[in-house]
Structure 1
C-alpha cells in the first residue's frame, strides 16, 4: 500500500484511550504499510491504530516486541481485517499515563509544516515545569507519524532527537514543507 503525505489536518486524528471494560477484543492485527518516508509496522485494535513504528533500522521482531510490551496479554495476528487508510485521517487507540495521553493529544493539534517546543507542549498540558516528563512522553509515543512527535523541537530551535532516528525526523518534516535550513543545528 502506498501512502502519500496525509492531506488531512491533524484535527482528523482521533485519539481514544483503551478501556478494558468497553472491549472484549484482545487481538491486534498487524502488517507493514508504506508511508511517505518508507515502510512502517502497524498494529490495529478494534479498527483503530494502536502502534506505528518505522521499519528502517529496526527488525520486525523488535517492533513486535515493542508492540507486545505496550499491549501485554494481547494476541498478535498477521494481516489486517481492513487495511489502514490514512487518506481521511485516522482513529487511534492508546494506553498510557494521564500525562502521556494529554501530551499525545496535544501533539495532534500541531499542524503539518509547523513545529513546537517541548516547553510549549508542557505549558499546553498544564505542566510548565514538567518539560523532561513531557519529553519522555513524546519519546514513548506508540503511533509515530500519526501522533506527530516529529514536530517537537528543542527550545533553541534545533531538531533534537527522535525515536526512529534523526534522518527519519528530517524526512517527515521536509515532506510536510518544513525548511530545515532555517533551524539551528544541534
Structure 2
C-alpha cells in the first residue's frame, strides 16, 4: 500500500492544476480553480492512509510531459498512471487511454468498447470519477450528437483541450 503521495502545482499559461503521484505513477490531476484541500480529499478517498507531501523533484517528469502536451509538443503520455477505482471504473479509464489524440468517442462507443452496450449512464458516471484529468483523456468523450457534455474540469476546459488537440466539432 502506498504511504506517501507527492504533489505539486502544475502551471502553464493561465492554467493552474494540482497534480499528485504515488510511487507507481500519476494518481491525480485536478480541475482548474480547485484547491489543495480538494486534491487532498480526493486522494484520501482512494488512499486513506497516505501521507501527502509536496515534492517538485519527484513530480518533475509529470510536469515536463504536461508542459509538452499543453505546448502541442506531445500527443501521448509516457509517464505511468496509478488510478484506483472499481474494476468497472478501471476498465473505463483504460478504454479512455486508448482514444487517440485529436479524436473523440461517445459514451455509447465506450460502453460498446468494454462490452457493456447498455451501460451508457454507468460509463458516464465512471468517466466523471476519473481522478487523472488530461493524461487519462476523458475530455475526448462527447455526446453522441457531438455535444460537449459534462466534465470534472468544466466544459470550458473540455472545449479548450479538444481545441488544443485540433478536434473540430
* Bin of the TM-score, shorter chain as denominator length: 0.7 to 0.9
Deviation beyond 3 Å, 4+ runs, structure 1:
none
Residue in structure 2 matched with residue 100 of structure 1 by the alignment: 89
**Unaligned residue ranges in structure 2 (runs of 5+):** 69-76
Among residues 74, 77, 81, which one is paired with 2:53 in the alignment? 77
State the secondary structure of the residue aligned to 2:81: strand
2:46 paired with 1:57: no
- TM-score by structure 2 length? 0.85
Residue in structure 1 matched with residue 111 of structure 2 by the alignment: 122
Cα deviation for residue 34 of structure 1 reads: 2.6
State the secondary structure of the residue aligned to 1:94: coil
More strand by share: 1
1:21-170 alignment runs, 5 A limit: 25-35=2-12, 38-54=15-31, 56-82=32-58, 83=60, 84=62, 85-86=64-65, 89-170=78-159
Rounded Cα–Cα distance in structure 1 between residues aligned with 2:90 and 2:115 = 13
Cα deviation for residue 35 of structure 1 reads: 4.8
Change (3 A) 1:59 1:65: same
Change (3 A) 1:36 1:122: farther
- Over the residues paired in the alignment, what is the CA RMSD in angstroms? 1.7
Aligned residues: 156
